[in-house]
Structure 1
């Protein structure tokens, strides 16, 4: 299903803005270069191309929900139950929801995005910067984009600081102010780099925590409203398989959707990690 035109256009506008800012920043460093060595220039170019590549790769490639025969098999498992003491059947796994817009029974961890107008597997959040949603198949690309963009911003900030210091010392030594017009422009670009660096750096730390704990932004912020999570104890997350396995599932899925089959309620064990436990929680 194609992304709605308004979402697509907003994503394109964000791409043009981001790439224009990076191009202007690179041209500024090259035009005012003094101590900008070849090694530094190559490093900045690599960071720029890497950030741009992963930025484009994470755009609207979150995947499509598993359906047909595979979906039927998951449905058979998801509705398993056992007889309780009162003679009634007690569900051992949470029920799945039906999407009224897409007319499908949603696999676990799937949410319908009202902006993209489709269901997103392992929905994380809708990001207007990429013009689509972050889901299972593009979460790794989104994290890599944040990593290289954050690296580029703070590396560029360091180079802008070096430029500003160099021109200031040069003017003081030779007793003139021929480089003063450069200062304001360099400060503007440095402030832009700092702002983007703080923004992407905060997101990078947050999504690193989510990946390590096997969660998504939606599951973290809306846990009380998600039926398949409310089915379990408050400090238990059914899709937290440990740091290493969580990383593998995020970065090495080979572009194949996972079958997120939840554990049976009578077989779960209490989880405890540095982010989320019965004593305190940052999630």
Structure 2
């Protein structure tokens, strides 16, 4: 059964006004990004090249900010795009990545609880055949939940890494060979990382739009600074956890 929602004149006007404000906010973010790019030092070995900008989106008719991507499934540009999740039926990006992480964490805890319930349903028997007859349903259930648990724990751990390093699934998957704004970087550079504390603050609060909600201001995407000079020999381990002067994970 298909439900059709008809918008009245006032609803259409509000929708058009909302889209205009959204486009204006993204254009303002782009202007700020370009202003930062003019003073940014591009990382070696291509520091003499101009800072890359995102291609103009002909579908959304706007200039997307750095790290954005037009999702073919959602048919819209998503700021700080991570991936399109078919399980939740939506994209995971700048504004909802934190909530997606909480979803994964709570799912992992729920699966752990389910495993405890399933294990309590096993019964002892004097023979293997008798044990299989008594516990056949519980055995199928525990195999299912262990598979589900492996998936949930892996995803939760991976997105925890993304949270702590200010990275995205798309950037790790594509890499500098396929993303122009990552050129000159290596796997362990984590070019958008600002240290653990600032990464957590940005992921949990700033990128989720908490300040704009509290101040009742329209949300606008982050104006990411183009990749600057990469410090691979720093003594600050907290801000350079993956590669520093003491060790390298690459």
SS in 1 for 2:52: coil
Separation of aligned partners in 1, 2:148 and 2:243: 29
CA shift, 1:189, in A, is 2.4
Separation of aligned partners in 2, 1:212 and 1:257: 22
1:213 corresponds in structure 2 to 165
Separation of aligned partners in 2, 1:79 and 1:100: 25
SS in 2 for 1:119: strand
1:245 is aligned, of 190, 194, 198, to 198
Q: Are the equivalent residues in 2 in contact too, given 1:92–1:265 (CA < 8 A)? A: no
Gapped regions of structure 2 (runs ≥ 5): 3-21, 42-47, 210-218
1:72 is aligned, of 23, 27, 31, to 31
- Does residue 259 of structure 1 match 2:241? no
Instruction: Give the stretch that moved more between structures: 224-233 or 181-190.
Output: 181-190
- Does residue 157 of structure 1 match 2:112? no
Tell me the TM-score normalised to structure 2 length: 0.68
Tell me the TM-score normalised to structure 1 length: 0.61
CA shift, 1:116, in A, is 1.3
1:185 is aligned, of 137, 146, 161, to 137
Structure 1 pair 237–274 and aligned structure 2 pair: CA distance change class (3 A):
closer
- Does residue 200 of structure 1 match 2:152? yes
SS in 2 for 1:112: strand
Instruction: Give the stretch that moved more between structures: 195-204 or 268-277.
Output: 268-277
Separation of aligned partners in 2, 1:143 and 1:75: 31
Task: Give deviations 1:30-88, integer Å, cap 9, x for gaps.
Answer: xxxxxxxxxxxxxxxxxxxxxxxxxxxxxxxxxx7742434333334435589xxxxxx
- Does residue 125 of structure 1 match 2:83? yes
- Answer 1 or 2: which has greater helix percent: 1
2:58 is aligned, of 91, 97, 100, to 100
Query: How many residues end up aligned between the 2 structures?
Result: 204
Instruction: Give the stretch that moved more between structures: 240-249 or 271-280.
Output: 271-280
Separation of aligned partners in 2, 1:69 and 1:261: 12
Separation of aligned partners in 2, 1:73 and 1:260: 6
Separation of aligned partners in 1, 2:227 and 2:99: 32
Separation of aligned partners in 1, 2:76 and 2:132: 53
Q: Are the equivalent residues in 2 in contact too, given 1:139–1:250 (CA < 8 A)? A: yes
RMSD over aligned CA atoms reads 3.3
Task: Give deviations 1:172-206, integer Å, cap 9, x for gaps.
Answer: 6xxxx8x9876332222222221111101001111
CA shift, 1:249, in A, is 0.8
Q: Are the equivalent residues in 1 in contact too, given 2:107–2:152 (CA < 8 A)? A: yes
